[in-house]
Homo-oligomer: A and B are copies of this chain.
Amino acid sequence: MKNKKGLAILMRTRMKTSTDPSRLPLLPLTGKVNQMLTDAKGNAFDTSVPQAAAEEAQGPTKLNPPADSTSYRDFDAVRESMHSAISLNKAEVLDVVLDDFSEGYFSLSFENRRKLLITLAQVYDLNRAQVRDLIKQYLGLELPGGNASESSTVDEEAMLSCFYRVERNLRQVLKPAYEVLFERLNNRPGGLKFLSIFRADVLSILAEENIASLRALDSYLKEKLNTWLSPAALELHQITWDDPASLLEKIVAYEAVHPISNLLDLKRRLGVGRRCFGYLHPAIRGEPLIFIEVALLRNVAQTIQEVLWDTPPIPESEATCALFYSISSTQPGLAGINLGKFLIKRVIKLVKREMPHISTFATISPIPGYMQWLLSKLASQSILAEVENMSPSSSSGSVSTFRENILEPEEEKLLLSCSEESFPGKSGMDVMLKLLTSTKFEWISSPELLSALKPPLMRLCARYLLEEKKRGKALDSVANFHLQNGAMIERINWMADRSEKGLRQSGGIMVNYIYRVERIDECAHSYFSTGHIHASNDIRRYTLGV
């Protein structure tokens, strides 16, 4: 029980963060501002793709500045230390300079960080005059085997040497000046963590304004982070009640989907019938980059409620299914770097080895983009229908080509009949739109409305998951995440998540993805190359109108 005190602190933290979940302060790095860490809160989604979602679904990370604004360090001083950290030579870049820069950065207001980042992107870019010079040199070189077809191999080697030299120089000058800063920071303890926060700031600026230079910096930094975070260097760690409170605290802070309500709940999350695994990186100590929560069950759960039990429904030895019910990324700054894929593969391998009686690996996942897609579809169709009704003579032909009644005739009939009094509308789609956008979700307390909405919502959900694509990939970010990892779509479940968030995102529907161990690589490959979505016959039935 030596952890009791730590957990008490932890619980206080939890309550603090709960008061205003929209405030997502940046994670500071250094001791000075360490107390802020307890406020830290990352992105988390049930069995979701934290990276893609962080880019698409999440709002920008907000800075939680020090209460006293006089404690901001002078912008120019930080800019100066940034300059030193980049321009001093190798032996001069004393650790002090880099420390000074990262501490200074954290002390800046969000507005000043923005200013600094844009300065970095624009002023410490590459030297285009040098690039041009080298490019001209390069064009002057003659490719061997061209005109001088009779040249000996020795000549050829000599000519190639010139190419290698200029190409190496070209690669060098094509590196923006800020690459030095990234490399130097990465080589220092705490540097990778700093860079991850740094990039989270960049992403939150880019979410609000499209600045070409900053976007270029981001894509450069992302590539760097990708190469530094080799999965082979990540340690798979089973998180248990024996872990230090400082690590468990992170699980509490970053697990935003199924909040941990009390001590017992946290302990249960790590106890009998459940598992929790995280990826630790040696340069970011005591904090998993990503973690996944697993429940051991007899069957693939159809609702999230089945997973959030207080006492294990069955002994572990009777479980045949490992259900991934939550995957959370702790580093918004690592958005776009798919660590989840490797984590899932390794967890499956480990669970299979330790518990051979488990043969099914599945998820119970949200469908974060479903309602957004459906509502915009319904809204645009309603408008088109109105236009058509208002001017039945003029250019009705051209409007019609875009029109589509996404409801089946029986579905429309049933909807119109049972909503006449409470939600009168001109058409089934109009009624559906009104029902689904009613702020209090009145429809879920009416058995008639529920049974009228279920058929179209389930059918359209299957269509959304199986057929709606963006650049050849599943439109839904969570679907895309699991499909690219090699999963199949198994089943959609009605009223699987009745929470407000669940209703808002997907009308309460959740989906089970299944990882069939022997087919993971094959599924991932065909999805990658042709966009083909592997799905059960069960779910395909909805879209075939059977």
Contact = CB atoms under 8 A, between A and B. Distances in A.
B160 A213 contact: yes
Interface in A216-273: 216, 219, 227-228, 230-235
A426 interface: no
A94 interface: yes
Contacts of A131: 138, 167
Interface stretch (A181-189, A298-306, A313-321, A361-369): A181-189
A14 interface: no
Contact of A167 (B126, B230, B281): B126
Nearest to A283: B232
Interface stretch (A48-56, A84-92, A380-388): A84-92
Interface stretch (A371-379, A453-461, A507-515, A519-527): A519-527
Contact of A191 (B126, B227, B232, B521): B232
- The interface residues of chain A, by DSSP majority, are classed as helix
Contact of A138 (B135, B233, B525): B135
Contact of A529 (B91, B135, B484, B529): B91
A90 B528 contact: yes
Contacts of A281: 233
Contacts of A136: 139
A517 interface: no
A353 interface: no
Nearest to A156: B212
Contacts of A167: 126, 131, 174, 216
A446 to B, nearest CB: 46
B160 A212 contact: yes
A132 interface: yes
B186 A521 contact: no
Interface in A492-519: none
A282 B234 contact: yes
Interface string A107-147: 00000000000000000001010011001101100010000
Nearest to A224: B227
A90 B527 CA distance: 11
Nearest to A281: B233
B174 A171 contact: yes
Given A157-B212, A227-B228, A235 B91 contact: no
B157 A143 contact: no
Contact of A186 (B135, B232, B283): B232
A505 B186 CA distance: 39
Interface string A162-179: 011001101100100000
B216 A168 contact: yes
Given A168-B219, A528-B89, A187 B232 contact: yes
Contacts of A138: 131-132, 135
A161 interface: yes
A276 interface: no
A62 interface: no
Nearest to A95: B521
A127 to B, nearest CB: 11
Contacts of A128: 143, 163
Contacts of A91: 484, 521, 524-525, 527-529
A186 B94 CA distance: 30
A215 interface: yes
Given A135-B138, A183-B227, A231-B187, A164 B92 contact: no
A479 interface: no
Among A128, A164, A228, the most chain B Cβ lie within 10 Å of the Cβ of A164
A395 to B, nearest CB: 36
A241 to B, nearest CB: 25
B282 A233 contact: yes
A192 interface: yes
6 contacts: A89-B528, A91-B529, A131-B167, A157-B211, A228-B233, A234-B282
Given A92-B528, A136-B139, A168-B216, 5 more contacts: A89-B529, A128-B163, A157-B212, A232-B282, A233-B282
